[in-house]
Amino acid sequence: MPVKAVLFDLDGTLVDSAEDMYMALNLALTEVAYPVVSHALVTTWVGNGIEMLVKRSLSGDFHVNPDLPKPTVAYALERFQFHYAQIVGEYAALYPNVNTGLAALTHLPKAIVTNKNRIFTEQLLSKLGIAHYFSVLVCGDDTDKKPNPAALLLACEKLCVQPHEVMMVGDSKSDILAAHAADINVIALTYGYHQGQNLQDLNPQYLLDGFLDIIPALMN
């Protein structure tokens, strides 16, 4: 079945954005008197939305401490959003060949499906100059976050295509599980933010090393 549209994850797939989040997180953590965290840790926590990212940073671990004080979580989240809004896109960069690859796929309708909130998604796409490639954005505050399949199915609806006519391109467990649940084929990229997961174990249809490698897979 020819691919009629492509769904792209954002952070870790198109954009290396961890530096922005790392800086905003540590500013927020300082304001709530919690220890700052390393850039390396932040790269392992990205992928499940900003609330989960903040909770992991407060816990100092991928697994969230269930006893985190709710007022602290709420204030840290508010401060993270404030700081992130000031710097989103300032230190982020497209992964190699993303612009070239997206330009080569102009014949296919494309959507972003991300767990990032819409306001930050739009800022980031605009700052990096790739917003024009995408006719649809489905963001973390539009519907249930990945790995729930709802976001992918909403993107299909907006693109006027059926799930079996679509390919998902992502870098994480959440992307692969959401695609499987939506009955959508998925390309997993070996770079990005894997949260320590071996993506091969999750049985994506393709496991590819570079962004340009997706082009022949989409043309099959």
Indicate which residues carry an active-site annotation. 9
Give, rounded to a whole angstrom, the gap between the first and last alpha carbons of the chain: 9
Distance CA 57, CA 135 (A): 33
- Do 178 and 147 form a contact (C-beta atoms < 8 A)? yes
- Do 170 and 9 form a contact (C-beta atoms < 8 A)? yes
Distance CA 147, CA 76 (A): 24
214's CB contacts (< 8 A; 6+ apart) are: 101, 169, 187, 189, 206, 208
Q: Which two tokens stand for residue 216?
A: 């022949």
Three-state helix/strand/coil letters over 69-97: CHHHHHHHHHHHHHHHHHHCCCCCEECCC
